[in-house]
């Protein structure tokens, strides 16, 4: 089974230019199990692009050896629109210049549309019913609006992912340890993924619906709630957002290491046959609503006293916020303290900060009661 490369044309942004997605495929569309993996929907986040760059030769070798089961779909750079948003050498790939917002927010939920497409009812046989659901999912994705370039990208990417059994959306943070986001219902698989990729912080919640990963996984979980006669439909899909460290953590060494971790997980999930050695367990999963995101109280310049991966005690000084306007420099410093004890996941990666911008993210074990529960950066 050889890899096939497909180029999917996107709307041209302006006369004389073209845009397209490059999709790497193993297996035949419709083969099960199916895995979908993408990187770079936030187009300035390249660690996942590097990981997939290294994963493809590994999968080619597995394909050559007949070890791939079902279908594998990889989109190594998911956002050519964002990648083109470059100003003076910097890619501003997180929010769309078109004004449509953050590229990883407000992804459409297809549960109602899928239920409507199944109005003739579901087969009582679970396998046949799941096949009906997958057809209805593909139809619902195909019916998404495509009038703007941003809408078209959403429709294509969700269409590629919606019927998959495993969806991994790879991102990174600013200055950060590896971490991942997944739905409560899939905690065991999230623990396995964390172990395979040596991810120290697994963040679980039951409200992940705004993101690509949430939109790709929600239908299997929600169909039972919105559709009569769907009680026998299992929650087939495991979807997760994987954050591979910080934005500048891009190298062949890290890419190779991450690709090996992804390969271990593909074997764990049965997408590739083979054996994996169990890796050391990581920290027990954290609850997303027990993650403290400390905002900066004012504009200024940060000097950190900690680094990602540190254990933090409540009340510990995380950073000094320096006010360069101060007439007396000794009076121009504000200590920023942790409101919870826990594991320090991420910091800002630029020293200049504005009021309300994120100073750090700490995963703790207690409810956050000081108002600093989010928003998150994924």
Q: Which residues of the shown chain bind Zn ion in the complex (CB under 5 A)?
A: 42, 45, 171
Question: In terms of CB distance, is 134 or 245 closer to Zn ion?
Answer: 245
Cβ neighbours of 6 (radius 10 Å): 13
Q: Which H or E run contains 334?
A: strand 333-337
CB of residue 335 to Zn ion, shortest distance in Å: 30
CB of residue 93 to Zn ion, shortest distance in Å: 9
Question: In terms of CB distance, is 104 or 111 closer to Zn ion?
Answer: 104
Strand 179-183 relative to strand 201-205: parallel, antiparallel, unpaired?
parallel
Give dist(CA 378, CA 182) in Å, integer: 12
Question: In terms of CB distance, is 190 or 336 closer to Zn ion?
Answer: 190
CB of residue 154 to Zn ion, shortest distance in Å: 15
Question: In terms of CB distance, is 45 or 209 closer to Zn ion?
Answer: 45
Cβ neighbours of 38 (radius 10 Å): 28
CB of residue 171 to Zn ion, shortest distance in Å: 3
CB of residue 45 to Zn ion, shortest distance in Å: 5
Question: In terms of CB distance, is 163 or 169 closer to Zn ion?
Answer: 169
CB of residue 104 to Zn ion, shortest distance in Å: 6
Question: In terms of CB distance, is 83 or 135 closer to Zn ion?
Answer: 83
Give dist(CA 266, CA 67) in Å, integer: 11
Take residue 131 and report the two structure tokens written for it. Answer: 């096949």
Question: In terms of CB distance, is 42 or 134 closer to Zn ion?
Answer: 42
277 phi/psi in degrees, rounded to 5: -85, 135
Strand 95-96 relative to strand 101-102: parallel, antiparallel, unpaired?
antiparallel
CB of residue 264 to Zn ion, shortest distance in Å: 23
324 phi/psi in degrees, rounded to 5: -70, -10
Cα 364 to chain centroid distance, Å, stands at: 21
Q: Helical H runs in the chain?
A: 47-64, 80-83, 111-117, 126-142, 149-161, 187-196, 212-226, 252-268
For residue 294, the cross-strand partners are: 360
């Amino acid at each position: 089974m050889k890899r096939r490369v497909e180029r999917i044309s996107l709307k041209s942004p302006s006369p004389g230019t073209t845009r397209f997605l490059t999709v790497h495929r193993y297996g035949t569309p419709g083969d099960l199990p199916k895995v979908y993996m993408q990187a770079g929907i936030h187009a300035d986040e390249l660690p996942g692009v590097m990981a997939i760059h290294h994963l493809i030769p590994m999968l080619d070798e597995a394909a050559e050896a007949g070890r791939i089961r079902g279908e594998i779909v990889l989109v190594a750079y998911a956002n050519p629109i964002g990648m083109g948003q470059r100003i003076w050498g910097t890619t501003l790939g997180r929010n769309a210049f078109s004004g449509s917002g953050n590229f990883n927010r407000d992804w459409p939920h297809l549960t109602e549309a899928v239920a409507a497409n199944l109005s003739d009812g579901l087969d009582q046989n679970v396998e046949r019913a799941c096949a009906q659901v997958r057809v209805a999912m593909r139809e619902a994705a195909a019916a998404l609006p495509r009038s703007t370039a941003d809408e078209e990208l959403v429709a294509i990417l969700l269409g590629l992912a919606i019927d998959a059994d495993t969806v991994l959306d790879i991102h990174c943070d600013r200055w950060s340890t590896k971490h991942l986001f997944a739905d409560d219902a899939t905690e065991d698989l999230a623990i396995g993924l964390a172990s395979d990729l040596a991810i120290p912080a697994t963040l679980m919640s039951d409200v992940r619906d705004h993101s690509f990963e949430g939109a790709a996984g929600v239908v299997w979980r929600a169909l039972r709630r919105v559709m009569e006669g769907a009680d026998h439909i299992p929650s087939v899909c495991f979807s997760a957002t994987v954050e591979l460290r910080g934005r500048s953590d891009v190298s062949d060494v890290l890419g190779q290491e991450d690709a090996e971790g992804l390969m271990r997980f593909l074997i764990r999930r049965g997408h590739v046959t083979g054996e994996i050695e169990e890796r050391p367990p990581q920290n027990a999963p954290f609850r997303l609503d027990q993650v403290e995101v400390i905002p900066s109280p004012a504009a200024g310049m940060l000097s950190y006293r900690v680094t990602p991966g540190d254990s933090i005690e409540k009340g510990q000084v995380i950073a000094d916020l320096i006010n360069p306007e101060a007439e007396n420099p000794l009076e121009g410093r504000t200590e920023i303290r942790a409101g919870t004890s826990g594991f320090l996941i991420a910091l800002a990666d630029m020293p200049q900060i504005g009021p309300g911008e994120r100073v750090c993210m700490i995963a703790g074990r207690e409810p956050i009661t000081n108002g600093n529960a989010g928003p998150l950066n994924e």
